[in-house]
Structure 1
Amino acid sequence: MDSPSRSRSGGHTMAPHKTPDEEKNRLLVGPVLRRKPETQPEGSTFDQRLLEMRADHDWKHADPWRVLRIQGEFVAGFDALDEMPKAVTVFGSARIREEHPYYKTGVELGEKLVAAEYAVVTGGGPGLMEAPNKGACEAGGLSVGLGIELPHEQRLNPYVDLGLNFRYFFARKTMFLKYSQAFVCLPGGYGTLDELFEVLCMVQTGKVTNFPIVLIGTDFWAGLLDWIRGRLVADGMISARDIDRVLVTDDVDEAVRFIVDAHAGLDVARRHN
């Protein structure tokens, strides 16, 4: 049964959430929600068709028009997120089920970020994207999902209050970077690693302000961090501070406190400049 609508951060009244079962026959294609879509080749996405060079050279005629669609994604994202309160983006695996301890950690993280007066942003999907959205939603905060078109069935999870669905990864990544003031990575696969290293690169090169970055799950991340320090730092490919600035913890309270303290320090530094 749907839960009753209730007021969220910013005074918005949200419609009752749908359950996943109610959504199972519906598919997001870019920003459009369709039931049993038949408008694109099976297993093909807009990103894939953009990046492939076809033998018949149709791309010479199609690519200039794609620019308008890409522009539209940026306009829609900027418009929808323009009045976002301060926010933390949480990355994590889509494959983790609700009974897993990681999922429970994600829910707790969402709740405690809201208690610290942050909106919670995720990739909008299931698993460890759904968990922080659920925690934020049930705590009465703003729960945001930025989805992506995938070859297999994909939908925004039912705990998203404000959701957008993107055709292109690079447009979606821009929204994560532009509208977040901190980043937390729960355990995850290639997508989570991609987002983590993108954020690390942007901070290292000064493309974004030195926002706090947190990895939750010391056992999960230990091997990767050992390799980074043993190879990249040891061989001089990055400096020690490029990885030492990242907090690794199993404690959700410590993670949230690290973010709050970092922002308090940034605010003090700005007032003195």
Structure 2
Amino acid sequence: MADEKDEAFEATYHRGPVILRGPMIPSDTSTGNLLAPEADTDWLHMDPWRVLRIQAEFVDGFGALAELGPAVSVFGSARTPRTDPMYRAARHVGRKLADAGVAVITGGGPGIMEAANCGAAKAGGKSVGLGIELPHEQGINKWVNLGMTFRYFFVRKTMFVKYSRGAIIFPGGFGTLDEAFELLTLVQTHKVARTPVVLFGTDYWRGLMGWLEGTVLEEGNISPLDPELVMVTDDEDEAVRVALSEIVR
């Protein structure tokens, strides 16, 4: 009996890099499981499969943008109407960036994003839209000539940061604020190369900047913002100049 038990532990089963012996040896095989008919599709919604989808989004995003060249991101509200002065300003910014030979990257939606894409596309430039899967998302606007829709916000934000050398942030809501603080955090903690950030619209951003440079700074919770990297302006040409400062020297 003892010899039989010893023999059981001598048997070795290899499942990829894992070694299994004795009672740990399975009755199935990986190839058999792969080829077996599967009636239950719950695995599609399990975390291991999500990891593969996340990986695929990174691969697709890197593949689509790797040869884009120098680019500036333009953020802002999807709700800005075409009659709003900010829409006209964003369109002007998109055109000026394209004239400088720089790609314009937006979230691909309507409002400010559409305006910047429109300016870039009409100037014959690279007009990029990185959309996001949302319940009420209106899809990629018609002025995008290179577009991709993402499932995951964090993958999408990685693309914005990786492929942009500057950012112009127009008035917007939670999404715009999220993108603004993401960039400001990375810039202040030196996690990215020098990336100038322009907040366009002094009236809109005055309260936020006053709170950051007042209450938050005085409490010792942040370091002073680098004025060469973070600027608030109402001048479209100045916004473009600052956003391009790490590209055009």
Which TM-score applies when normalising by structure 1? 0.73
Change (3 A) 1:61 1:106: closer
Q: Which residue pairs with 1:207 in the alignment?
A: 191
Q: Which residue pairs with 1:72 in the alignment?
A: 56
Q: Which residue pairs with 1:96 in the alignment?
A: 80
Matches within 5 A, 1:129-144: 129-144=113-128
The alignment partner of 2:149 has SS state of: strand
1:58-113 deviation digits (Å, cap 9, x = unpaired):
79971111111111100100111110110000000000111111100110010011
Structure 1: runs of 5+ lacking an equivalent: 1-57, 266-273
Q: Which residue pairs with 2:233 in the alignment?
A: 249
Say whether 1:173 aligns with 2:157: yes
Q: Which residue pairs with 2:171 in the alignment?
A: 187
The letter of the residue matching 2:192 is: V
Runs (4+) off by over 6 Å: 58-61
Could you tell me which of 215, 219, 234 is aligned with 1:231? 215
Matched length: 208
The letter of the residue matching 2:146 is: L
The alignment partner of 1:241 has SS state of: coil
Report percent identity of matched pairs.
58
Could you tell me which of 118, 133, 149 is aligned with 1:149? 133
The alignment partner of 2:111 has SS state of: coil
Query: How far apart are the structure 1 equivalents of 2:93 and 2:198?
Result: 12
Structure 2: runs of 5+ lacking an equivalent: 1-41
The letter of the residue matching 2:153 is: F
Q: Which residue pairs with 1:35 in the alignment?
A: none
Change (3 A) 1:233 1:68: same
Q: Which residue pairs with 1:120 in the alignment?
A: 104
Note the C-alpha offset of 1:176.
0.3
Query: How far apart are the structure 2 equivalents of 1:241 and 1:104?
Result: 29
1:184-224 deviation digits (Å, cap 9, x = unpaired):
10110000000000001111111111211101101110011
Query: How far apart are the structure 1 equivalents of 2:136 and 2:156?
Result: 18
Change (3 A) 1:235 1:242: farther
Say whether 1:111 aligns with 2:95: yes
